[in-house]
Amino acid sequence: MRLEQLTLQDFRNYEQVSLGLDPGLNIFVGDNAQGKTNLLEAIYVLALSKSYRALRDADLIRQGASSAVASARVRKLASLDLSCVLSLTEKKRLLVNGKATTANNFVGNLNAVLFSPDSLQLVKGPPGERRRFLDIQICQIDPVYRQTLLEYQRVVRQRNSLLKTAQESRAQLQLLPAWDRQLVNLGTRVTARRQAVVEKLQMYAREIHREISGEREDLQLVYEPFFGQAASGLSGEELKAIFREQLQQLRAEEIRRGLTLIGPQRDDLLFLVNGMDLKKFGSQGQQRSAVLACILAQLELMQAETGEYPVVLLDDVLSELDQGRQLQLLTLLDAKAQTIVTTTSLSAFPQELAARAAIYNIRQGRIA
Ligand SMILES: Nc1ncnc2c1ncn2[C@@H]1O[C@H](COP(=O)(O)OP(=O)(O)O)[C@@H](O)[C@H]1O
Ligand SMILES: [Mg+2]
């Protein structure tokens, strides 16, 4: 799939911009703080219905304006118009072909994969980064998962508040079994789906990583569910039984702390190279290669699941790779997916690629 046209109105530092995009490689060049990341963020919002870096939707609205619009024409088998309308005073509106729709029906129309300097946190950072990486990906290919995940998060919040009130009034504990059932039903579905995706992702990532590392290293992705044993091969019923049993054991502790202590909000993903934990022992270069392999694997997974490659967003990452790797990465992407890259300097680019890319300059929220 590809983005044919992008229009922004009062989005971040853009007052009004409308541009056509090349089906292949697009390079946006600009100094710091000119709007490069803002542009990719707008595309991301159209893919996921919300930003990955704004705390509130209102932050996306240009200072001094009261509403903002990001719209795109997406080309798949047919073309599709997507819009996200933000306002300081009204609820966010999401439109597909001019018709208002729910976030669940909106997400999945435009699929995007983002690679930024922060992506290194995927290996180095806390487990939440890795869960988010998986969730963002699964939500784009599976609206049922998205619904299940949101529902699960709501159950955890409500169950936590019940556990807190139970500290004062024990009678509240009668309500707990009903919440436990929902927690277990939804939670096992979340864990099982992530586990299945990691198994597929692993197939692609391992192959890609072998190439990147010159055949020397073997990358393995291992999903580590909260209950401390591998979930692969376990049936839904077996997962539920483990979850229920651990809840029983933790009951007193959960009440004491007023908190749900187990569930997929505690899952993690392990990166192993030749059997060694990359988070603890990997060099910067090894961590970077693993992240790159994962992101490229994500493209293949999305293609396999939806029939289309996602749009690839590369925010200021080429400076992180040596020239050989840059060329390798961009050539690979160029042949497969529409790629939108930002950079502070075009001279850092391999010339043969720059020669056939569409190049734009960004300055103070204007694109030329
Ligand atoms: N809501 C907003 N309204 C107006 N300007 C904004 C808003 N949010 C961010 N900016 C401005 O956008 C600029 C940063 O843009 P960004 O895309 O992150 O830069 P870069 O080109 O370095 O990636 C800063 O000048 C910041 O003040
Ligand atoms: Mg930036």
Residues 172-231: tens digit of each pLDDT: 899 999 999 999 999 999 999 999 999 999 999 999 999 888 878 999 999 999 988 777
> What integer pLDDT is reported at residue 334 of this predicted model?
82
* Ligand 1 atom showing the smallest separation from residue 61 Cα: 1
Written as six digits, the tokens of 242 are 């483990």
Would you put residue 17 in left (φ > 0), alpha (ψ -120 to 50) or beta?
beta
Residues 6+ apart with CB under 8 A from 304: 200
Query: Which residue positions in the chain have pLDDT lower than 50?
Result: none
CATH 1.10.150.110 assigned to 117-307: no
Q: Tell me how far apart the alpha carbons of residues 283 and 77 are, in angstroms, rounded to a whole number.
A: 43
* Ligand 1 atom showing the smallest separation from residue 65 Cα: 3
Q: Whose CA is nearest to atom 20 of ligand 1?
A: 33
Q: Which ligand is nearest to the CA of 315?
A: 2
> What integer pLDDT is reported at residue 123 of this predicted model?
95
* Ligand 1 atom showing the smallest separation from residue 64 Cα: 3
> What integer pLDDT is reported at residue 348 of this predicted model?
77
Q: How far is the CA of 6 from the centre of ligand 1 (A)?
A: 18
> What integer pLDDT is reported at residue 352 of this predicted model?
84
Residues 282-292: tens digit of each pLDDT: 998 899 889 99
> What integer pLDDT is reported at residue 285 of this predicted model?
86
The answer to whether residues 336 and 137 touch, using CB atoms and an 8 Å cutoff, is no
SS3 per residue for 112-125? EEEECHHHHHHHHC
> What integer pLDDT is reported at residue 328 of this predicted model?
77
Q: How far is the CA of 364 from the centre of ligand 1 (A)?
A: 9
Mutate to test the pocket of ligand 1, among 31, 38, 318 (most ligand atoms within 8 A of CB): 38
Q: Whose CA is nearest to atom 8 of ligand 1?
A: 12
Q: How far is the CA of 159 from the centre of ligand 1 (A)?
A: 39
The answer to whether residues 17 and 8 touch, using CB atoms and an 8 Å cutoff, is yes
Pocket of ligand 1 (CB under 6 A): 12-13, 30, 32-38, 59, 61-63
Give whole-number Cα distances, 282 to 15, 82, 121, 277, in Å.
44, 41, 13, 7
Q: Whose CA is nearest to atom 12 of ligand 1?
A: 13
* Ligand 1 atom showing the smallest separation from residue 59 Cα: 1
Q: Whose CA is nearest to atom 25 of ligand 1?
A: 33
* Ligand 1 atom showing the smallest separation from residue 60 Cα: 1
> What integer pLDDT is reported at residue 329 of this predicted model?
85
Q: How far is the CA of 35 from the centre of ligand 1 (A)?
A: 5
> What integer pLDDT is reported at residue 89 of this predicted model?
96
Q: Tell me how far apart the alpha carbons of residues 238 and 232 are, in angstroms, rounded to a whole number.
A: 11
Q: Which ligand is nearest to the CA of 39?
A: 1
Domain ranges of the chain: 1-111+311-368, 117-307
- Give the CATH number of domain 1-111+311-368: 3.40.50.300
Q: Whose CA is nearest to atom 11 of ligand 1?
A: 13
Long-range contacts of 214-221 (CB under 8 A, 24+ apart): 217/273, 217/274, 217/286, 217/289, 218/273, 218/274, 218/275, 219/271, 219/272, 219/273, 219/290, 219/293, 220/270, 220/271, 220/272, 220/273, 220/275, 221/269, 221/270, 221/271, 221/272, 221/294
Q: Tell me how far apart the alpha carbons of residues 312 and 321 are, in angstroms, rounded to a whole number.
A: 17
Q: How far is the CA of 28 from the centre of ligand 2 (A)?
A: 11
The answer to whether residues 142 and 169 touch, using CB atoms and an 8 Å cutoff, is no
Q: Whose CA is nearest to atom 14 of ligand 1?
A: 33
Mutate to test the pocket of ligand 1, among 10, 13, 114 (most ligand atoms within 8 A of CB): 13
Q: Whose CA is nearest to atom 19 of ligand 1?
A: 33
